[in-house]
Amino acid sequence: MSKGPIRRWQRRWKDGWTGRLDSPRARRDATIDMLVFDHGLIRTLWRNESEIAPGVWRSNQPDPRAIRGLAERGIRAILNLRGATEYGSYLLEAEACRAAGIELVDFKLSSRELPTRECVLDLDALFARLPRPFLFHCKSGADRSGFAAALYLLLHEGASPEAALAELSWRHLHLAGGPAGIMRFMIARYAADAAREPIGFRDWVETRYDPAALALAYRTGRTAGFVSDRLLRRE
């Protein structure tokens, strides 16, 4: 069976429950989608979670059980870097956050394209307003979460580019040579510019950051790209 028929079947299946959890069958199918198609079974074994600054945590996609645990730990807000989606993971996350009294904020980042200048500054403003302690996550906790962690450290902790780059590492399953490696490339370009002429990261974003030029300059490694796109199905 080719990929086309499988994708069409999955689309028809999703249309039967997407957007609601109002029946046992819809809830069952959303849970299957979370655990199987969104790789949630893997995440039950490894949370890919760490505290990057006091009261600021990063992780992969939390399931309802994990969200209940976060509430018990005092987490007050969750920043979802995947944006609002039709995945079972999102529907169950939103429901679990409402039940636990956790504020859920949706903010979509891509792991393949650099954000606009306005997007970076909007994320900066979100970081400033979210109640502590808070957690942000993407799907695997590797790329977008690592990028957000790097941005937070640079914008709010005065961290060095080297400390920011450590958030985009193998330790969190970030593939530097894949499509998401453009995130490291951005931070590395800032580091090079700041080494030549000292400049704060926020000022660099506001005056020198050019995502289109960086995209043209970045080259993806074939092997890392295959692993990221075909095996891990990074978003």
CA distance 137 to 61: 6
pLDDT of residue 226: 39
* End-to-end alpha carbon distance in the chain: 24
Q: What pLDDT, on the 0 to 100 scale, is given for residue 175?
A: 79
For residue 225, the model assigns a pLDDT of: 42
pLDDT at 233: 52
The CATH number corresponding to 12-231 among 3.90.190.10, 3.40.50.300, 3.40.640.10, 3.30.1380.10 equals: 3.90.190.10
| Domain spans, the chain | 12-231
User: How many other C-beta atoms lie within 10 A of the C-beta of residue 144?
Assistant: 27
pLDDT in the model for residue 1: 42
pLDDT score for 3: 64
Cβ atoms 192, 107 nearer than 8 A: no
DSSP string, 95-162: HHHHHHT-EEEE----SSSPPPHHHHHHHHHHHHHSPSSEEEE-SSSSSHHHHHHHHHHHHHS---HH
pTM equals 0.88
pLDDT, mean of each 10-residue run, the chain (235 residues):
73 80 90 92 91 98 97 98 93 97 97 95 98 97 95 97 93 82 95 96 98 92 44 52
Residue 88 · residue 39 · CB < 8 Å: no
Computed on alpha carbons and rounded to an integer, the radius of gyration of the chain in Å comes to: 18
Any idea what the Cα angle at residue 232 is, between residues 228 and 235, rounded to 5°? 70
